Amino acid sequence: MALNFFDQFMSPTYLGIPLITIALTFPWILYPSPPNRWLNNRLITLQSWFINRFTKQLLLPLNPEGHKWALMLTSLMVFLLSINLLGLLPYTFTPTTQLSLNMGLAVPFWLATVIIGMRNQPTASLGHLLPEGTPVPLIPVLIIIETISLFIRPLALGVRLTANLTAGHLLIQLIATAAFVLLPLMTTVAILTATILFLLTLLEIAVAMIQAYVFVLLLSLYLQENV
């Protein structure tokens, strides 16, 4: 039984096709492209309003040089938000529960911000490794600590997203199994458990949206330090 709880995080295959590829490409089908007409329908208007509001909020602390990343960061946010929410549906697979995928997203974006900082302002980027006013005996230790914290950033991005979604899916499955088992034995307790499951599902929807936003927000903060 313990192994069955983790089977949901295995990448399934159907007819030799890994379903993770379908799960990664399916979100892009859901979003309609804006037509060339002057007036759009309600769905496209709502979609455009959400993307514009998010982009303005995301780029607020960045200088004009960082605004070049608007399309990339907004697309990443919509992509993560879509696959996180779609993964909460029954009989679906959540690609962001795989650490390999999250690290594959975190490392290139983090590395791009570091390379941009080293190319455009190497003195300021290296200055982050040593806070101003540091006592001379502590300089080597602080440089080592700040360097380690710099390289831990992509790992923290990937692990945070993986751990939060994995824990939520496991908790939902545990409570759902408990409600199913308790239904013929103690109906009142089973109904109470099902109510807790419903509230937990609402919480997981919020967690799925928040974690996608936090992932992109931290990337924008790393970008802010290097532009």
- Quote the CA–CA distance of 67 and 59 in Å, as a whole number: 6
Residues contacting 200, CB < 8 A, separation 6+ = 168, 171, 172, 175
Tokens linked to 215: 């992932």
**Sign of the CA dihedral with 99 first, then 102, 107, and 113 last:** negative
Evaluate if residue 3 carries a pLDDT over 60.
Answer: no
Name 17's bridge partners.
14
Evaluate if residue 50 carries a pLDDT over 90.
Answer: no
Which residue, 218, 201, 224, 196, is CA-closest to 120? 224
Confidence of residue 6 (pLDDT cuts 50, 70, 90): low
Residues 146 and 128: beta-carbon distance below 8 Å:
yes
Which of 40-44, 112-116, 133-137 is the most confident on average? 112-116
- Quote the CA–CA distance of 1 and 153 in Å, as a whole number: 35
pLDDT of 2:
45
Tokens linked to 40: 């759009």
**Interval 31-60 mean pLDDT:** 78
Residue pLDDT, tens place only, 171-225: 888 898 888 888 888 888 889 999 999 999 999 999 999 999 999 989 988 888 8
Q: Is 154 helix (H, G, I), strand (E, B) or coil?
A: helix
Map out the domains of the chain as residue ranges. 7-226
Residues contacting 159, CB < 8 A, separation 6+ = 99, 102
Tokens linked to 52: 């514009």
Residue pLDDT, tens place only, 74-93: 889 888 998 998 888 887 78
Read off φ and ψ for residue 14, nearest 5 degrees.
-140, 120
Residue pLDDT, tens place only, 121-176: 878 777 777 777 778 787 888 888 888 988 999 999 999 999 999 888 888 888 98
